[in-house]
Structure 1
Amino acid sequence: MSLSMGIAFELEDSPALAVVIEVLDEMGIGHAPGLEAFEADVRDGIASLVSVMHLGEVLALRAPRDQEVNMVPAIEAELTLLETKGSMPGVFAVLRRIEQAMVANRAGRFFMLFAAEWAEDEEVRFSYGSTEDLIAMLSRPGGWCLRLLDLRNGMEMNSIQYPFVFEVLVRGPKGTGAIKPIP
């Protein structure tokens, strides 16, 4: 089991995809389009999200760029350095650049996906907000995981039991930063 990370766009915002791909290339982030690019144990769940949220495009994110290695381990390493040494993760700059590209293309929102396993009918953790809200959440201990405390031994641990979807509400001409109802 490996962790998957992806980005998804609404059908109407699919034209922004080309610009976001340029940003990912510029920032050294690998990507592959379509459900087939994700690990087999998350495809059904992502397909369900795409259907329910009327999404048009989905990209699996990878690092390093020239390999078919999921991006999650690289981000986890960056977030650990943030927590232990205060080093600012490069993924934050990537998220901010993606938002800028979306604003420039009058796109309203995009979705960040994190999962280890994801069945078609499985409930997921869901949140929404601005790019800065996502960055703030990722900056906290545990990042996108659930941070648990074992009261028997005082040990903290991250749970990846539930897939996590964060809807980034883009601010700009079309994106208002306000909550958009699910269609």
Structure 2
Amino acid sequence: MSTTIGLGIGAANTGDLIDKLSSVARKYGYNLKKGTQYAEEDVLQGLTVTKEILRWQEVALLGTNDTACGVLAFGIHNELTTYETQRTRPKFFDFLDEMSQLASAYVDKITLFFASEWNRSDHVKFSYGSVEQLICLLSLPGHWGGRYLIPETGHFQDSDEVPFVYEIVLQG
């Protein structure tokens, strides 16, 4: 299972936005790869369908490590988990702030997607709002997925089985 985080941009003619966002990503120790060809095989079908439905002109994958077949975001997932357990603010939140400020000069919205697996027919959780609202959501237990109480065991279990798409509405 993988952790995939990326950006979808619907506007055409975004110029050098992806290149500038790549520079911001590097500042935080991440990499940003333009194109669905960098997606893991277990998310590619769902990502491709969603790209068509939401009419994204550009897709870029955000990661903390490169693999032979794609870009993965395990490090960001770990940052979010560490935030819950140790209250250490994730640098991912700072990246989101800076990314949205930069993107607002180019587009009126930018979409983030989160998935561990993403098949063509999977239902996708969708929401929208400000970057501050996304950060609040990612600060909750289970972050982009969810946390469930399992009655049979009495324990909580995090689940990232449903892909999540969040449209950040930017202030231009």
TM-score by length of 2: 0.90
Aligned to 1:109: 109
How far did 1:13 drift? Answer: 6.1
Counterparts of 1:27-176 in structure 2 under 5 Å? 27-64=28-65, 67-68=66-67, 70-71=72-73, 73-105=74-106, 107-172=107-172
Preserved contact between residue 10 and residue 110 of structure 2 (Cα < 8 Å): yes
Aligned to 1:180: none
Preserved contact between residue 13 and residue 108 of structure 1 (Cα < 8 Å): no
Inter-partner Cα distance in structure 2 for 1:130 and 1:61: 19
CA gap of 1:13–1:86, structure 2 versus 1, over 3 A, is farther
Q: SS of 1:121's equivalent?
A: coil
How far did 1:85 drift? Answer: 1.6
Q: SS of 1:135's equivalent?
A: helix
How far did 1:44 drift? Answer: 1.2
- Listed one character per residue, the Cα deviations across residues 127-150 of structure 1 (whole Å, up to 9, x for unaligned) are 111000110000000000121111
Preserved contact between residue 14 and residue 56 of structure 1 (Cα < 8 Å): no
TM-score by length of 1: 0.85
5+ residue gaps, structure 2: none
Inter-partner Cα distance in structure 1 for 2:94 and 2:42: 29
Preserved contact between residue 109 and residue 170 of structure 1 (Cα < 8 Å): yes
- Further displaced range: 74-83 or 51-60: 74-83
Q: SS of 2:57's equivalent?
A: strand
Inter-partner Cα distance in structure 1 for 2:26 and 2:79: 19
RMSD: 1.5
How far did 1:76 drift? Answer: 2.1
How far did 1:21 drift? Answer: 1.9
How far did 1:22 drift? Answer: 2.2
Inter-partner Cα distance in structure 2 for 1:127 and 1:169: 11
Deviating runs (4+, > 6 A) in structure 1? Answer: none
% identical aligned pairs: 31
